[in-house]
Amino acid sequence: LEQTEAWRTQWLRARKDDMSDCSACEAQFLTDYWVGMGQHLEALKAAKPILSGRESCAEVPHGTLGSVLEPLLSTGQFEEAMDAHVRGYTLVQNNPSFLGTCAEHLRFLALTHNLDLALGVLEKHLPWALTTADLMGRFGFFHSTLPLFARLRVAGQTLISFRAPPGFPLDGKSKGYTLDALEGWFKTQLEDLAAQFDVRNGNAYFSSQLILDTNLLERIPAVSVKPNKFSTKLNNWKGKA
């Protein structure tokens, strides 16, 4: 962590040139930094120029609205978090380059007890995760299933109506997949990816991320998705044969 902060300080002090990112992207990077450090209030502070509309670009606020979801939830700003989800998912749902952001929206839906919608997001974007060359994005997307499966287990759902993409390696029943099988497959994939990253990095950071924060699950209440274009689109999509 000390090395991380040292690099951040050097980045902030570096002179800007023609290769520098725009101010909106730099605000996004700083937001992600504080989220990764678990400093949620600092993350929201860094994101303020973006959330207020003062900073934007071709990819901002698209990613930012996903980055601030958990900071908003952890600070009790549930309605603001839902607004960020509604605005943000609409911006990224059709762009595979935002796989990591879609993962943040999936995690958000699971944390806020919107389990059917979370499963819909998982179904819709799983093909991206399975075919992407971005292993970090795949890890993030698979990681977002941890709270979803935990919530489903607490809800007593043992058989999951889940339409996997063609070529999905896990055999399912005609009515869906058992929760044990589906959760076990994603867990195995996560453990394998985490091990690869940890070997490369020479530490156990990614493996440490596989432990679900049960306190977070207990603190976050059900938050209803407002009637809007997002929920209508997703419900319609889930209804297709």
* Predicted local distance difference test score (pLDDT) of residue 237: 31
Q: What is the pLDDT of residue 20?
A: 59
Residues with Cβ within 8 Å of 67's Cβ and at least 6 positions away in sequence, in order, are 28, 31, 32, 35, 43, 47, 101, 104
pTM for this entry: 0.88
Write out the two tokens for 140.
């993030």
Does the structure show a pLDDT above 50 at 231? no
User: Range with the lowest mean pLDDT among 106-115, 137-146, 159-168, 230-239?
Assistant: 230-239
46 touches 30 (CB < 8 A): yes
pLDDT band at 207 (very low <50, low <70, confident <90, very high): very high
Residue 176 has what pLDDT?
84
Q: Identify whether the C-beta of residue 111 lies closer than 8 Å to the C-beta of residue 216.
A: yes
* pLDDT score of 183: 97
